[in-house]
Structure 1
């Protein structure tokens, strides 16, 4: 029993450490880096969803997809500036909407192909976003 308590305490400690690391990253990030963190979070959630889907863990798959949806809809989509971004912002909004629908289909139908397609689209946009950041900072 004490070994289980020790493991649980370790897990809580590791979780707290991870949250502090994420919070520190967010607090010190530029607006561009914040978007990169959103992409990273969405991609990590999709990878977790795939693992849970393959293991047949429906509840955890749903949580992971919900987290990815939250990041896409309330993070990436909300960060778009239609006024300053013009046509590009409009196209990204349409793409994020499509990615959200793919994630919903993946969750509802246990469809790994939809999950894969959502991940590929996010990877493409994230890669372009990272490249823009590198050009802006001269990296």
Structure 2
């Protein structure tokens, strides 16, 4: 598991820090996709696969902690987006398709922008409905994008 996901799981801190950890997970996934694209373009398919898998693991972790009951429609939408990103990553890996990696990167970048906005909200400490729940080793997120 990527270090961002490990930090997310191991940290039980305030909302601001949890939001920052989610942002770090997005940054990790986006960075892994960019590395995969570089390796694909350079012909190093083994390294490409390593980075695609890393990005997929991070997105799967984000998806696994969605709180469908408390997060409602937002959680359901995120679940669909995460599934789409994982599908794009899988197909990109199988087909060696840089365009599908670019699509996955763009979706995650847009989602990250939303979380960046949350991080700058003055009332993020008292943010409303959680959209993600704690997995057995994960803290609960109390903010929504």
Normalising by structure 1, report the TM-score.
0.76
Larger radius of gyration: 1
Q: How many residues align?
A: 115
Which SS does the other structure have where 2:121 is aligned? helix
CA distance in 1: counterparts of 2:58 and 2:64, whole angstroms: 9
Name stretches of at least 5 consecutive residues in structure 1 with no aligned partner.
1-18
Q: Contact conserved, 2:19 with 2:118, CA < 8 A, in 1?
A: no
Indicate the residue corresponding to 2:105 in structure 1.
119
Alignment correspondent of 1:79: 65
Q: How does 1:104-115 map to 2 (within 5 A)?
A: 104-115=90-101
Pick 1 or 2: higher relative contact order, CA cutoff 8 A, min separation 6: 2
Structure 2 CA distance, aligned partners of 1:53 and 1:136?
A: 41
Instruction: Spell out structure 1 runs of 4+ moving beyond 4 A.
Output: 26-29
Q: Distance in 2 between matches of 1:97 and 1:113?
A: 17
Once the two structures are superposed, the pairs formed by residues 38-77 of structure 1 within 5 Å of their partners are: 38-74=25-61, 76-77=62-63
- Cα distance in 2 for partners of 1:119, 1:110 equals 15
Q: Which runs of 5+ in 2 are unaligned?
A: 125-145
Q: CA RMSD in A?
A: 2.0
* Alignment partner of 1:99 is 2:99: no
Higher helix share: 1
